[in-house]
A and B are shown apart, each in its own frame.
Chain A
């Protein structure tokens, strides 16, 4: 079974400050890891993914995430947050290796509020 934990329900930062949204995972195997963002009354937008290779992956809107196998974490980061980054962020995992199963398991979500 695969699972994802987002330990913080809410993250509040000031505009211009670094933003970190935490995610840890639990899988038996090599995970595919994803971050999505959901703005109010809109669908999910893909931000970035880790499948293999460099542990630091860069994505849309200036976001990046670092895969840490020893800590089973995949934290989302942005060096300088914008008010427009205020949204709901989801971490997700899939485990297709050997099973061809690409379904996603989502974390509970973290609400990010960036104040001006």
Chain B
């Protein structure tokens, strides 16, 4: 399985500011995903990020609010823009192992917006 790290692990931010979350994987992967897990809830997919193309956003998520970069096959960033308390969640990145169709998750970034 892939080893995935995320930075920061947690942060407390003020409303109206932006936070960029980094996701680093120890091997090259084609597909990376960003999920949100609101307190006490399940995971919801924000977007799929493939290297060399623009991210594909799910219904309810827009690029202006959650811009994503995927500069190479081992790294991606998710920015949460103009934050409000409703953005307080755990944000997780994941990668797809192409050969065995398993998806592995990073440890998550716990964001609190005050």
Contacts and interface: CB of A to CB of B under 8 A. Distances in A.
Nearest to B40: A109
Interface of B: 1, 4, 31, 33, 41-45, 48, 58, 92, 94, 96, 101-108
Given A32-B101, A46-B103, A49-B102, 5 more contacts: A44-B94, A46-B1, A49-B101, A51-B101, A104-B33
Given A32-B101, A49-B101, A102-B103, A43 B92 contact: yes
Interface in A36-60: 36, 42-46, 49, 51
B104 A109 contact: no
B92 A103 contact: no
A46 B45 contact: no
Interface residues of A, number: 20
A79 interface: no
* 6 tightest A-B CB contacts, nearest first: A44-B105, A43-B107, A106-B43, A43-B105, A106-B42, A108-B42
A24 B104 CA distance: 22
A16 interface: no
A15 B49 CA distance: 42
Nearest to B1: A46
A23 to B, nearest CB: 12
Contact of A46 (B41, B42, B104, B107): B104
Contacts of B33: 103-104
A17 B108 CA distance: 32
A90 interface: yes
Given A103-B48, A104-B45, A43 B103 contact: no
Given A34-B103, A43-B92, A96-B101, A90 B31 contact: no
B42 A104 contact: no
B104 to A, nearest CB: 6
B22 to A, nearest CB: 15
A43 B101 contact: no
